[in-house]
Chains A and B, each alone.
Chain A
């Protein structure tokens, strides 16, 4: 005989405060060590940085205690630590470029500014969004916003073509990557759409060769969304983002339907665009060559970036050169696309693996919230957001270490780039909100439902 037991999660707010403090301290320590390692003296703005970090963690802690008192205690500290290490590594790149080359680089300051913006937006979201299920009401609005955001770089007067990709827009002098925000919108859309269709997607439809195929009427809109994403991103020639959206799409379908057949269908759907891109698009063909054989004599010059990245990783070795001791200026885009080589060169394999562990823990917490949450929409959204983070880390680190062909994605929280950082903070706020819902004890859940959303759509009746 079996019985069902419920465990209540403990809020652990004090532990979160402690972890936030340690995370901020480690970030500031890394920043200080970068100055000590490169110039032999503490950075001039160390005091400002410390105070800024202190203010941000106090704001985060208060916001969580006030608005999400049962939230997961480790999500925000991990975000703060990754962000802090990222700023330190970018400052290392800056100082190396300023010291060893004639170019002047100033990316760390911008990153600090964007961190502030990201944290403020995350806190605002925690206050504005009392219940993640409110997002489900706007499923189709998010679909349209995601589509518009993805289309924006194709608009002639907004576009800002850089490095062969039309994924940037330029508003009032600031470059922005709308695909980052679109990622969140599309995740919400998929979650809202799939939660109402998952039973028909999983059960109705013909069975071919032991694989349950969906009905065309269920499949159509999703296929449309997929084709839309892929088509736009091929026109914008950014395959990393296309891969990210496609992975999100397949993962969320799998979570929604619990059918392995979707992974098979996903792989089948992915092959034609991949083969097309690898054979017909010149720059993708180069990526493939550089993946398989970057160090040979004939490929060496065309694969310079990945080669330099590999030399950086080798220079770091097991223990690393210490913060401020590496030469990240030797690697093109050592502050953004190739921040991982900067990190691995300066902290070594041991430090880089610690950072990868942090990512794994963050993703695990997202998936844990997805399992614990009591509504299907929350499950799908948390799983989708967690999966996107994991996929980004895999694609970036895998590309740099030659596990897969290199594609241009950003490493969450580490890479320099305002849009990516701000969107990752928004994702973190959503995860905090959902983990709060997942861990809230049952009695309080009733109270919150009664007061927060009186006309919540009846989950049971749908």
Chain B
């Protein structure tokens, strides 16, 4: 039994000793909701801080280092400023859609994050169609962007939103198909099964070259899904000002901003879970001594560490690459990634059928 499982079990038993079974269930749901909200806020702020520091590191400057130790509370101060700010919109904006849009993004990111296990038995809910649920929920976010672009009555915002529609719908195919390639190896869409199946080797080692190709495709299309450079056409600042959130200010802008970083976290977390074993420590089949040593490091630390590595990779992309153009973006997906992905699935199916995987 892992530490995280013990923790949840203890909390459950303690609550049962106080309340009835029904109330316990309700209280647990509220607690989980609060925990996710807290995680959402903290992870968002931490990621913004990390992004700024890492950007500064790439750009030979210091970054925020004044508020708190190493500037850690800078983003908190910025968030407080945004909360206190007056929301200013356009006069002709469709006020209902305009105010609705941020919630689409924030809710879709919040729901998507809930199925990812951060430790053994440590996820919001562990359903048997976990991967499918994640892909389905995360595509709601694009609706928010489209609504924001349409509702704010601004041509730049509209161009950004339409670009986003084209981009997200195209790259969702690659995200889904590259995950499907790995699911062929596991045979289950449930996230806990996916992690459990990697207790001897991580899937990226199990699946040989097809898994590696799927990983690269997932990272590329995941970067595109989270609208980051080199695929940040949605808010291409030198072209469109701020793109779809040009007309948002205050807390509504903060929602867009935070959900962007949470999306990056989700993409990295999924990559870490499906390809690098999630919370599963690095295990090598046949080396039980090595495996036991690795087990001393708790699961959540493995999970966050792996996610952090991929987040760093995505930040590295952002501060190095120029931006693609819209037709190049479409060409990359439909002419290169998608056919490659389909062939890759066939190869993976063949590998699994022949039993060549580890």
The yes or no verdict on A and B being binding partners is no
Residues of A within 8 A of B (CB): none
